[in-house]
Amino acid sequence: MHINKRTALLLAFDIVATYAAYFIAAILTDLLGDIIATHEIYFMVGVLAIINIVILALFHLYNNLWEYASIDEVIQILMALSLSTLTGAVFLWILDVWIPIRIYFVAWFILIFLVGGVRMIYRVMRPRRRALKLAKVANQPRTLIVGAGETGSLVIDRMATKDPLMPGIPVVATDDNAAKLGLRIHGVKVEGTSEDILKLVELYNIEQIVVAIPSATLDERRKIYAICTRSECRLRTLPNVRELRVDELDGVALRDVDVADLLGRDEVVLNTRSVAGYISGKTILVTGGGGSIGSELCRQLCTVAPKRIVIFDMYENDAYLLRKELLPQYGDIDLCIEIGSVCDKTRLNDVFEKYHPEVVFHAAAHKHVPLMEVCPREALHNNVFGTLNVVRAADHYKADRFIFISTDKAVNPTSVMGATKRMGEMVMQYYARISKTVFSAVRFGNVLGSHGSVIPIFKHQIACGGPVTVTHPDIERYFMTIPEASRLVIQAGGMAHGGEIFILDMGEPVKIVDLAKSLIQLSGLRPDVDIKIEFTGLRKGEKMYEELLMDEENTVPTNNASIMISTGQEISYDEVAAKLDELETAIDGTDTEAIRILEEAVPTYSFTPNVSGKPTTTTNETPSAE
């Protein structure tokens, strides 16, 4: 039970109510004199009060959302007080303490009114008090609420009391539960289902739609968002109020629906129990710790209570801001910043010597495909030999685990960036055979909102009035959120035994042009009317369709449905060492020579982009990453 100010007040009131109920019961039954004369009544009623509190807590009656109490909560109170009264009577009987049964019965009846009454008064009075405190907000948008459940009730109630965190005038609601049609929630009528949204928008001149169905299934959410984005309304949502503590309710605010909502992936929760063994109490090094993936890895790792996190990054501003963000929440964790490049062997070894990390997450990399096409030697320097430096340091300083962040662009690569990341995988697998450190890699696709990704670029183009540029109308990519990818990376690290390439379930691929249209619609604009979409042609090294498996690879499942293990042909470890020697000489040569040697070193590297059709991946009966 989470103790806060409100819960403490309810606890105190329930204790007082128990004393009051039994004394009033004794008076009403003309037994007050007998009870006081024959029993240590104050102590005994105190015992009964404790029993009441324990059983009320077991029924979650200190954490319910009393603003939205209904007949269900009344039944809970009746059941809890019946059980607590019976338990108290039996307990005192065992102690050989006699109190007349009619006192128990009358006290139970009084307690129902006292315990239930104070909660119902809170439900009735609190919205009125909030309405008096909050300043009136003018020019509110006319709002349609999708969902007539508890979350929808919260939205309507807050809007009606002019809560600035939930701006809007609640006009009409919809719900796919036919039993709710025609009913009213705080005076707002439920007039249709999700199929009626567009009709109601036009009928009631709706300016804002609030989707208040966080508990809906994945398919239900996709369907509703698809309907809502066809309107010109601002589209907003909020968290599930059942997942919040009572003291968090006042801070609940509407937020704009974003691309992650439209993609409709179920949220991945980090299984802290499965990863605690290799994270908790340990020193963790995250290279590229200030970047999109690296910083989110640090955030997620903090929830598993490591002893120390070392944020290693070239860019001091990102690392500084991340530490400043995490310190107030995780002051018990030693958060260290070390500035440097993975290409600097001396600096890297200094950091390993100083901290002796037990777990290394290697997220540092050059990842921008077009830029690496014009700077191939930099890609080699950072993505191959930077990785090699970190791998060697992890081996030399006897780290327990090393997790390499790879990419779907390493599969049958057509770009320098993808080929260098594939070479990084080969380096990892090479050392997995000869080292006591457990080396593994995690391969996944694009993450929403990462630095340099398509989403921030599209948003900037929309803000500037367009056009939004897409390379090809049929180009597709896999997407997941940064927190989702980071949690799965950490969980995959806990499954590693050495040499695995873990494949994350990326769901269904998304057409980039559809993503662009959704972003335009979320901005309240119309694709190809308010904002033009232009096709610019595939860029050098860019694939039409990304793959998660090479032609010779299949997958085997793990105990986590979102994580699979690649099973491909074993590489020649002697050959890897020879290829590294050749690539090292290429860094000092020309770009053309570097690309030629990289093509020889990575057999699956093909400079010709796949524009003819979707890739075919050989699979057996085990599940594929696609």
Q: Which residues are catalytic?
A: 409
User: Count of alpha carbons within 13 Å of 376, Cβ hemisphere only?
Assistant: 25
User: Count of alpha carbons within 13 Å of 236, Cβ hemisphere only?
Assistant: 21
Which one, of 617, 622, 626, 582, lies nearest residue 602 by Cα?
582
> Which DSSP state fits 230?
T
Four-CA torsion 53, 55, 56, 59, nearest 10 degrees: 150
User: Count of alpha carbons within 13 Å of 425, Cβ hemisphere only?
Assistant: 30
Whether 336 contacts 314, CB under 8 Å: no
Please report the DSSP string for 28-46 in residue order: HTT-HHHHHHHS-HHHHHH
Distance (Å, rounded) from C-alpha 91 to C-alpha 99? 11
Phi/psi for 437 (5° steps) reads: -70, 140
In angstroms, the Cα distances linking 255 to 161, 258, 266, 475, 479 are 18, 9, 18, 30, 21
In angstroms, the first-to-last Cα distance of the chain is 43
H/E element, 441: strand 438-444
- Write out the E strands in 258-333: 283-287, 308-313
Please report the DSSP string for 206-219 in residue order: --EEEE--TTS-HH
Whether 151 contacts 240, CB under 8 Å: yes
Q: What totals of helices (H) and strands (E) does the chain contain, helices first?
A: 22, 22
Distance (Å, rounded) from C-alpha 462 to C-alpha 515? 13
Distance (Å, rounded) from C-alpha 364 to C-alpha 392? 15
Distance (Å, rounded) from C-alpha 28 to C-alpha 110? 11
Beta bridge mates, 533: 468
Strands 169-174 and 142-146, bridge-based pairing: parallel
- Write out the E strands in 340-419: 359-362, 401-407
Largest interatomic CA distance in the chain: 104
**Residue 89 contacts by C-beta under 8 Å, 6 or more apart in sequence?**
99, 101, 104
> Which DSSP state fits 568?
-
**Residue 295 contacts by C-beta under 8 Å, 6 or more apart in sequence?**
289, 318, 322
| CA 253 and chain centroid, separation | 17
Distance (Å, rounded) from C-alpha 626 to C-alpha 615? 11
Phi/psi for 364 (5° steps) reads: -70, 130
Is the bond into 467 cis (omega within 30 degrees of 0)? yes
